[in-house]
């Protein structure tokens, strides 16, 4: 099979089953002693998912972070997610086991770049994917997820008028999807007031419609599931919306929607477009289902930086703390709360 043109992941060294068992036991004991909760994103390594107190997507974990009674949150995900947890729970100590666990999409726009962009479009409303730094969120009017980007943009037009100028970033694929789904492609004048930043996530960079078509041709009976959680799947969303890949049997599903769907079809065959860590909880939900990666190289190297030894050290030494300056947190909270309110 031809290798798809994505960046090679940095695989963590594999641990033997007995090492995993011993480390997991040590981590659970440390978490109890510290009154800590371990939150893990669905794209984490399987052994991290297994030791976590809560597993979920970015938004679900933020909500858990905001309501937990634990004093310490160890966030097994990427840095902007830990920042979001800290913004929503400023009184708690938020740790991330590896400070290098960033996000290529979040890194594609800095706060200075956003300020320059705003200066060129005074009065424009800023809509940013939730995959951004706290500093960028503090300069943002609305955060969005892949699932609610279209509703948020339509909400802005309803509230502020159809001719409102919008700066949308940093994911160009999600921007293109929003343009198409809101009918902007047929309205050149309004489209000229919808500006898209040209950032993207490294995980899907370079995947072409023909790569998806080939995988689907090899499994003609399989349904095609797209998980619009992260920048790694927005490109597939846009290909489907544009009609660049066959739309038969395509389902765009949230984390829980996808889990329910495979549970309801326990012996089904599914091609799944997402970061491949998501296949682990799906396979646990439906052990007999045949799950096929739409792109077997779709690993987020940042998500895989979190390992059991780093998680253990994080709890043992209470490192690395992620905190957001109160004046930034206060402003960054506004677009996050708007996003949550619009749903
Ligand atoms: S999959 Fe892409 S968008 Fe998601 S955390 Fe990794 S680099 Fe960021």
CATH number of the domain that 185 lies in? 3.40.50.10800
Confidence check: pLDDT of 197 > 50: yes
Distance 282 CA to ligand 1 centre (A): 19
Q: Which of 40, 145, 275 to mutate to test the pocket of ligand 1 (most atoms within 8 A of CB)?
A: 275
Q: Is residue 22 part of a domain?
A: yes
104 lines ligand 1 (CB under 6 A): yes
pLDDT of residue 107: 95
Alpha-helical segments (H) within the chain: 17-34, 46-51, 58-67, 79-88, 111-120, 134-137, 149-160, 172-181, 188-191, 209-218, 234-242, 255-264, 279-285, 308-317, 326-342
Distance 179 CA to ligand 1 centre (A): 22
Q: Which of 102, 105, 233 to mutate to test the pocket of ligand 1 (most atoms within 8 A of CB)?
A: 105
Among 154, 181, 200, the domain boundary falls at 200
Q: Is residue 184 part of a domain?
A: yes
Which domain does 119 fall in, by range? 106-200
Confidence check: pLDDT of 13 > 70: no
Q: Is residue 10 part of a domain?
A: no
CA–CA gap between residue 175 and residue 80 (Å, rounded): 20
Q: Is residue 1 part of a domain?
A: no
298 lines ligand 1 (CB under 6 A): no
303 lines ligand 1 (CB under 6 A): yes
Question: Who wins on pLDDT, 48 or 88?
Answer: 48
Burial of 340 (0-12, 13-18, 19+ CB in 10 A): middle
My answer on whether 70 and 96 are in the same domain is yes
Lowest mean pLDDT among 87-101, 139-153, 174-188, 202-216: 202-216
pLDDT of residue 8: 42
CA–CA gap between residue 274 and residue 229 (Å, rounded): 8
Pick the residue whose CA is nearest to atom 8 on ligand 1. Answer: 103
CB 95 within 8 A of CB 323: no
Closest-CA residue to 115 (of 92, 90, 133) = 133
Number of residues that this document lists for the chain = 343
Chain mean position to CA 279: 15
CA–CA gap between residue 177 and residue 191 (Å, rounded): 13
Domain count, the chain: 3
Distance 105 CA to ligand 1 centre (A): 6
Pick the residue whose CA is nearest to atom 2 on ligand 1. Answer: 201
Per-residue pLDDT averaged across 180-192, rounded? Answer: 93
Distances (CA, A) of 252 to 153, 242, 271, 307: 19, 14, 12, 30
Confidence check: pLDDT of 298 > 90: no
Q: Is residue 331 part of a domain?
A: no
| Exposure string for 29-42, b = 16+ CB within 10 A, e = fewer | ebbeebebbbbbbb
My answer on whether 93 and 32 are in the same domain is yes
Tokens of 55: 């597993």
Confidence check: pLDDT of 12 > 70: no
CA–CA gap between residue 322 and residue 264 (Å, rounded): 39
């Amino acid at each position: 099979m031809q290798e798809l043109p994505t960046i090679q992941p940095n695989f963590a060294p594999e641990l033997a089953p007995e090492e995993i068992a011993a480390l997991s036991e040590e981590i659970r004991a440390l978490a109890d002693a510290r009154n800590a909760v371990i939150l893990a994103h669905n794209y984490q390594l399987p052994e991290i998912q297994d030791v976590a107190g809560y597993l979920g997507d970015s938004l679900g974990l933020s909500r858990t972070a905001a309501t937990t009674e634990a004093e310490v949150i160890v966030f097994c995900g990427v840095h902007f997610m830990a920042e979001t947890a800290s913004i929503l729970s400023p009184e708690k100590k938020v740790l991330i086991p590896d400070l290098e666990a960033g996000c290529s999409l979040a890194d594609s726009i800095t706060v200075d770049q956003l300020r320059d962009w705003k200066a060129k479009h005074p009065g424009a409303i800023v809509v940013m994917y939730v995959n951004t730094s706290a500093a960028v969120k503090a300069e943002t009017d609305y955060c969005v997820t892949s699932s609610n980007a279209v509703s948020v943009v339509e909400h802005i037009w309803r509230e502020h008028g159809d001719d409102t100028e919008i700066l949308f970033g940093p994911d160009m694929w999600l921007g293109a999807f929003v343009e198409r789904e809101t009918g902007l492609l047929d309205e050149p004048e309004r489209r000229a007031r919808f500006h898209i930043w040209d950032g993207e996530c490294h995980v899907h960079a370079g995947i072409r419609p023909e790569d998806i078509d080939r995988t689907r041709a090899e499994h003609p009976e399989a349904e095609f599931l797209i998980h619009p959680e992260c920048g790694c799947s927005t490109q597939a969303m846009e290909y489907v919306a544009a009609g660049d890949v066959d739309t038969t049997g395509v389902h765009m599903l949230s984390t829980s929607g996808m889990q329910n769907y495979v549970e309801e079809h326990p012996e089904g065959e599914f091609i799944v477009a997402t970061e491949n860590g998501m296949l682990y909880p799906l396979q646990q939900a439906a052990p007999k289902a045949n799950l096929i990666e739409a792109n077997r190289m779709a690993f987020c190297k940042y998500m895989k930086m979190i390992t059991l030894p780093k998680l253990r050290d994080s709890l043992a030494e209470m490192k690395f703390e992620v905190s957001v300056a109160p004046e930034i947190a206060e402003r960054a909270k506004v677009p996050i709360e708007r996003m949550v309110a619009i749903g």
